[in-house]
Structure 1
């Protein structure tokens, strides 16, 4: 298993505001060894830890992420929507996030987001530059994406990096895709996972991670079936995070 059996989704986002440095700190405080975050791109090329392509859900501002510069968004409050305790939280750059995650000693599942305003090449190349500069232990890095072209680019540019494909429903040709892209893991929506798929993926030697599981009984059942890891908004759902 590459990651851990419980992975904090966007940084334990039921316990702290998603994709913030505070959420990474909370992940560490509760003893969860791996965190999943999203990397997204601003219009000026700055990479930020942010899931959506719009500002509105998490901040008081409006507008598309692709229309923003770092100077436009760096002071935005991204924590008050969660609670007053996090009112000082700000959007973090990928660079800031990587520094903080490594200082905390966490493993990282980095999901690369691709929205229509940018090409996969743009965000992949920029992400590689930041990771090459800052990330030290590639054994503790697992990169995932719903976009096959992102994973194909990573396969060609950084063939030694560990990558996994995100799917809602696992396609019938998952094994061929995994071989072509030299994947190490399959990530899927737990609601559509079948026992036969678990058996086949386990037999292939790939890791299997399920998102986003927030019910203790479901998490325990999936782990019993043989799923390697659960991506969850609440890593305390099983009563222990490791």
Structure 2
């Protein structure tokens, strides 16, 4: 397993896709509102376009969070940049665009936030995604001077990230807590485990905490549940409400 250790987490709350309860997810307004509501960490998703661009969008397709149609991976960067990514959330955000990774990074830095960057893979394009993300981070992020870690549900992406950016900590995202979380992280060359709160009961929480590793739970929007996970040993929780913990 890699000897890279995660940077000390200075907040138990990570703003999930920005302040996504208050603004359209993964957009610049969501970043700004997360910071304004007191968040110190923000989580976001990055995907490849058909021509190798990097855009901030969670879904494989455009329909839910833009006025576009079709797969992100089959759409050119310029076409995605021309879409409206805000009107679906509220008329007040009409005209909001899907940001590219470089401009998103600038917004995060300008707002004084730390970043969890989730790599959303397309099967067979993991190398292209990781190498492109690595180049962009090296060009636009002060690696080592500001909190940053990469995450993914794809073990292949995480192993590639360990090669491309060995100095950046990595988190493996899973739905269910593995029986041997330490072994699972070692296989994926990660140091942090992210689980789905809805699938992580008391026994699983106890097992994760007993393993002595850093782990987080997503997505929690109830304050009592958030405090229960933190009390059980979670390092942090991901939430759509950046002021959830008061």
Contact 2:172–2:188 under 8 Å retained in 1: no
The worse-fitting range, judged by mean Cα deviation, of 135-144 and 200-209 is 200-209
- Please give the alpha-carbon distance, in whole angstroms, between the structure 2 residues aligned to 1:169 and 1:201: 11
- Please give the alpha-carbon distance, in whole angstroms, between the structure 1 residues aligned to 2:161 and 2:170: 8
Contact 1:3–1:107 under 8 Å retained in 2: no
The equivalent of 2:137 in structure 1 is: 131
**Aligned pairs for 1:21-170 within 5 A:** 21-116=28-123, 118-138=124-144, 139-170=146-177
The alignment's C-alpha RMSD in Å is 1.6
- Please give the alpha-carbon distance, in whole angstroms, between the structure 2 residues aligned to 1:160 and 1:194: 33
- Please give the alpha-carbon distance, in whole angstroms, between the structure 2 residues aligned to 1:58 and 1:197: 33
The worse-fitting range, judged by mean Cα deviation, of 22-31 and 222-231 is 222-231
Following TM superposition, by how much is the alpha carbon of 1:155 offset from its aligned partner in structure 2, in angstroms?
Answer: 1.5
The worse-fitting range, judged by mean Cα deviation, of 65-74 and 27-36 is 65-74
Aligned pair 1:12/2:23, yes or no?
no
**Matching residue within 224, 231, 238 for 1:231:** 238
Moved over 3 A (4+): 194-205
The equivalent of 2:182 in structure 1 is: 175
**Aligned pairs for 1:174-193 within 5 A:** 174-193=181-200
Contact 1:20–1:92 under 8 Å retained in 2: yes
- Please give the alpha-carbon distance, in whole angstroms, between the structure 1 residues aligned to 2:138 and 2:213: 25
Equivalent pairs counted in the alignment come to 238
Contact 1:184–1:207 under 8 Å retained in 2: yes
- Please give the alpha-carbon distance, in whole angstroms, between the structure 2 residues aligned to 1:78 and 1:86: 8
Runs of 5+ consecutive residues of structure 1 not aligned to the other structure: none
Change (3 A) 1:172 1:55: same
